Amino acid sequence: MTSVSVAGLDAARYVASPIASDDASVLEFMFGEYARALLEIGLLQIDPAPIETGASLDKLLDQPISWPAAWTLELAQLERAITRSLDPAHVSDALVAVLLQLASHGLIDECELRLESEQPLFFGHLRLPTAREVVFRATSVGAEIELRAQGRAPTRLDLERTDVGVWRGAEPLDQVVWFGGHQISLRTTGQRGDFPIPADQRLLSVDALAGNRAFSAAAALIEECSPSFAPWIKAAVHTIVPLDASHRPAMSATVEEYPGLVFLSLPLNPSEVAARLVHEASHQYYFALERLAALHDGSDQELYFSPMKGRDRPIEMILFAFHAFGNGVLHDRNLFELRHASAIDAATLENWMAQVRTLTSHLRRTQALTPMGEELWRSLAAVLFAATPA
């Protein structure tokens, strides 16, 4: 086994569950290298003229990009532009969006960017005026940004970053809620990125969210009952798209193409918010790991019964479900052991355990999982069942 394989297995172990491993460094390094490679590929596909960053770009490309800065909607837009578009203009505009977000994370000191067409721009949680060109410079207290568009005078913004990391000085794109000291955007209007709302769902209004404290209460519950999950969730979930749960069953969802973003029905009680964030953070990590390595080789064409869905599913979806529901059971078990009776009872917990055992039997049987896929489920199974199944 090579050292790269060992590193990959370490990353898979952390992705499996924060209870299986608390070492995030390998995953963050590997994904940071992946993000840097995407930037380099994108830069090779365009005329360099639209982007001028000087030493800032050289410095940026000398090291892996940090996980919070890389796991973003903008990075996925660059992925799609590189892999699906033959038009260098799409790649160029996607690079501009990524570089502005990297600047908001303090990874670029100055840059001049030009878009192929005038369009809205975003900087952290701020919506910038529509522009064709952007000049950015970091300052001691925040940033100076100049936006230029044809036919009007340049717009100059002095942005300030508060001690808790919130940018101020332009129109907020989102409401921000706090999850144990971590800011999460509530994307209710003016969505950045063309992501579809799940079928038969509608966005929840800003007014309906006023004063909602479910996220802070959910964070407190996780810190008390499942403290390992708190930093795991904070690192992976950056944006919530709140859906109106008033006239339809509550739901949550994570989509591979939108890193860091979770669709979530609200309002929910704090214990339900906590459970769904554990579940959706699991999906976030699964999708991150899939970008780094194959988890199955495609050789198993059999369908396996999923008690969660009530139908047969391919082995890769069995692995996907086992990962999220297994972590959910770990959190539920902690709730039960600490006697949060209103959140979980013995019969419900045993029902979930039985369903997870069914998935485990399928994963034990298949020969199609790669070493990374095997490590993912077996590491989680080890903490679920106290010993790795043979």
User: How big is the CA angle at 348 (ends 346 and 352), to the nearest 5 degrees?
Assistant: 115
pLDDT band at 53 (very low <50, low <70, confident <90, very high): low
Of residues 210 and 175, the one with the higher pLDDT is 175
pLDDT digits (tens, 9 = 90+) for 306-335: 999 999 999 999 999 999 999 999 999 999
Q: Where along the chain do its domains lie?
A: 3-124+126-130, 173-292, 294-390
pLDDT band at 76 (very low <50, low <70, confident <90, very high): very high
69-78 mean pLDDT:
93
Residue 23 has pLDDT above 70, yes or no: yes
pLDDT band at 290 (very low <50, low <70, confident <90, very high): very high
Of residues 92 and 85, the one with the higher pLDDT is 92
Residue 183 has pLDDT above 50, yes or no: yes
pLDDT digits (tens, 9 = 90+) for 135-165: 999 999 999 999 999 888 999 999 998 887 7
164-187 mean pLDDT:
81
Residue 251 has pLDDT above 70, yes or no: yes
Residue 387 has pLDDT above 70, yes or no: no
